[in-house]
Structure 1
Amino acid sequence: MGLGTWQLQRLAWKEALIAAAHERPGAAAVPAPGPDTWSGFAIDDWRYRRVTLTGTFGPREAYFWIALTEPNGPLSGAGAMVLTPFRTTDGWTVLVNRGFVPEDRRAPASRPGSEPPEGTVTVEGLVRRDDPPSFITPAPDAASRTFYARDIAAIAGALDAAPPVAPYQIDLVAEETPPGGLPQAGESRMTFTNNHLGYAFTWFGLGAALLGVTAAALWRRSGRRHGPHAAPSSE
């Protein structure tokens, strides 16, 4: 029964997260959380919030491989999200997802005008959580700096990002797409699976079945002890 209760708690958490994903991107932007908030950082309090950053983009890129379906912009298919370190004027770094590029336009030389703006700029984006790889995630390709999980530590290391590095990432909003159209910003994926209610019913059902089996076994044992053929008392 405890596992069923836990699944109901997870259901409430997931429903709150889904609600946040729909509501927060449309709210007014606030400054991105700095290092004074990172100790015990509660990502669910910030996830999908629209924030602003002021600083400079680094010169290097890494790539998170993705097959983009149902895009917000005109481009989709196999490609990558372009990840670039952004050094804030307050002296800390955050990984910024500048947007999607098709596989045949991944090389910077194939997309003139896609470079990040030079100098100090202010940008807006959505806060996204760290996403370390699981045991089934392919290993990154170090030569091409291609990753299959948005693992902050690994990507920041590959890009020689200056510390301290934020424990979250930023997805630029669509308005940050360069005039040439690449990288195509505003492609945050907000899809969720929510099977917790079904899991809860399963665990409660298994618990009820186990109680029934236990009760039947006790009843049969009691019947053998007190039935007409029960052994006489020694008293």
Structure 2
Amino acid sequence: MTQQHPKVDYITSIPIAKKKDKITALGWFLLIIPATTFGLGVWQVKRKIWKEQLIKELDKQLHMEPVDLPDDLSQLSQMEYRLVKLRGRFLHDKEMLMGPRSLIRPDGGETQGGLFSQRDSGNGYLVITPFQLADRDDIVLVNRGWISRKHTEKETRSLGQYQNEVELTAVVRQGETRPQFTPDHKDGQVYLYRDLNRMCKSSGAQPIFLDAVYDPKAPEGSPIGGQTRVTLRNDHLSYLVTWFSLSAATAYLWHRQIVRRIPF
């Protein structure tokens, strides 16, 4: 008896390649994220270059020849960091202190000092004194310079308390807004920052603030001038690193999810 085998049909199947999935409109829209963050990174590069150039220009102004104090004091609002010459006398009875501050030495170095430092050699205050201009009624504020903690009382530096008319060279400065987390001033004599409104109200001065330059001939115990800091924030390096990092991360995610369709 002949055994019959079931008939088997062999069908050869050739896989047909799938058509590559197209990127949807939503996928293209999401590309905006890495593109935008990259653009912001490029913008911060330009801002960094601009800020560094501005700081150089302001520092250059500190070494230019001084000009006479203008008759119209309002012009000083456009002259920050310019050197000016002025003549008059100090009103020591209305003297104020600002600090604590570290000392900027004549060579440009800076001592370590601050709110919690107790070292007299590096920690002290700036002496802010109203200055009556000669041949006019205007009074301006002059930062005469730095003193240590042990010289905060006027009697300890009597040789530097000029009573006669003097001529000064000083740097034009602007007022400051209250820095974040900075407490209020201790009293009407010690200030934590250049609060022109309160300083002028208590002294009767115009809202003009000048930093006296360093005077090597000043008597011993006098405030040490030359305490000008070019205070322009330059955080653009950290900003551009942040934006470029976000751009790289989001570009990688976009390529993985939208182009290659690789799930996490």
For residues 72-87 of structure 1, what are the structure 2 equivalents within 5 Å?
Answer: 72=106, 76-87=121-132
2:159 is aligned to 113
Normalising by structure 2, what TM-score? 0.67
State the aligned residue count: 212
Contact conserved, 1:177 with 1:183, CA < 8 A, in 2? no
1:203 is aligned to 243
Q: Distance in 2 between matches of 1:90 and 1:215?
A: 71
Contact conserved, 2:103 with 2:146, CA < 8 A, in 1? no
131-140 vs 95-104, greater mean Cα deviation: 131-140
Q: Distance in 2 between matches of 1:202 and 1:80?
A: 37
Normalising by structure 1, what TM-score? 0.74
2:116 is aligned to none
> Alpha-carbon deviation of 1:69?
4.4
Query: Is 1:26 the counterpart of 2:63 in the alignment?
Result: yes
Contact conserved, 1:67 with 1:79, CA < 8 A, in 2? yes
Q: Which amino acid aligns with 2:226?
A: G
Q: Distance in 1 between matches of 2:161 and 2:132?
A: 16
Q: 1:13 to 1:86 in 2, by over 3 A?
A: farther
Q: 1:157 to 1:76 in 2, by over 3 A?
A: farther
1:104 is aligned to 150
Q: State the secondary structure of the residue aligned to 1:184.
A: coil
Unaligned runs of 5+ in 1: 224-235
2:226 is aligned to 186
Q: Which amino acid aligns with 2:204?
A: A
Contact conserved, 2:145 with 2:211, CA < 8 A, in 1? yes
RMSD of Structure 2 on Structure 1 (CA): 3.1
> Alpha-carbon deviation of 1:21?
4.4
Q: Which amino acid aligns with 1:154?
A: R
Q: Which amino acid aligns with 1:55?
A: G
Q: State the secondary structure of the residue aligned to 2:88.
A: strand
Unaligned runs of 5+ in 2: 1-36, 112-119
Percent same amino acid at aligned positions? Answer: 29
1:129 is aligned to 174
Query: Is 1:155 the counterpart of 2:199 in the alignment?
Result: yes
Query: Is 1:213 the counterpart of 2:253 in the alignment?
Result: yes
Q: Distance in 2 between matches of 1:64 and 1:98?
A: 11
Higher strand share: 1
Q: Which portions of structure 1, spanning 4 or more consecutive aligned residues, are displaced by more than 6 angstroms?
A: none
CA displacement 1:116-135 (0-9 Å, x = unmatched): 3434x331011223222212
Contact conserved, 1:80 with 1:101, CA < 8 A, in 2? yes
Contact conserved, 1:131 with 1:149, CA < 8 A, in 2? yes
Q: Distance in 2 between matches of 1:130 and 1:17?
A: 19
Q: Distance in 2 between matches of 1:188 and 1:206?
A: 38
Contact conserved, 2:168 with 2:212, CA < 8 A, in 1? yes
1:165 is aligned to 207
Query: Is 1:58 the counterpart of 2:101 in the alignment?
Result: no
Q: 1:36 to 1:195 in 2, by over 3 A?
A: closer
Q: 1:165 to 1:116 in 2, by over 3 A?
A: farther
Q: 1:135 to 1:177 in 2, by over 3 A?
A: farther
> Alpha-carbon deviation of 1:211?
3.5
> Alpha-carbon deviation of 1:81?
0.5
Q: 1:128 to 1:208 in 2, by over 3 A?
A: same
Contact conserved, 1:123 with 1:176, CA < 8 A, in 2? no
> Alpha-carbon deviation of 1:197?
2.5
Q: Distance in 2 between matches of 1:179 and 1:86?
A: 19
189-198 vs 2-11, greater mean Cα deviation: 189-198
Q: Distance in 2 between matches of 1:12 and 1:161?
A: 41
Q: 1:177 to 1:4 in 2, by over 3 A?
A: farther
